[in-house]
Amino acid sequence: MSKTMWRRSRRSGLAGVLAAALLAGSPAPAAAPATVGIKDFKFTPPMLTVPVGTTVTWTNQDEEPHTITSATGTFGSTGLSHEETFTRKFTRAGTYAYFCALHPHMKATVIVR
């Protein structure tokens, strides 16, 4: 192997090792928080798709109290008064249907991928 070929292979090998080290040492970015508004007896957005690890915050913007109640019972809030919030971190992929227990016609879904 010539000196030039040896240097090139050494450089490309070092670049690969450096890139692998940087990728291995970099923590995964945290999922950005997501928000759901409660206004006019509706959850907005009615369908929210987020990555695993996302924290979702619901804020009641109505004058009437509302709840965030999982359709399967896996999570739920107490009645939220005007401007009160409820927060939940979604750590597993899945589809999470929820509704307001005080106003069952209010329905929405969080999809976690």
pLDDT (tens digit per residue) in 57-96:
999 999 999 999 999 999 999 999 999 999 999 999 999 9
Q: Judge contact between 84 and 67, C-beta under 8 A.
A: no
**If you ran DSSP here, which 8-state letter would residue 25 be given?**
H
The ranges assigned to domains in the chain are 1-30, 34-112
pTM of full prediction above 0.75: no
- The tens digit of pLDDT for each residue in 17-56 reads 334 433 444 444 556 789 999 999 999 999 999 999 999 9
pLDDT > 80? residue 4 = no
Give residue 105's region: left, alpha or beta (phi > 0; psi -120 to 50): alpha
- Architecture per CATH, 34-112: Sandwich (2.60)
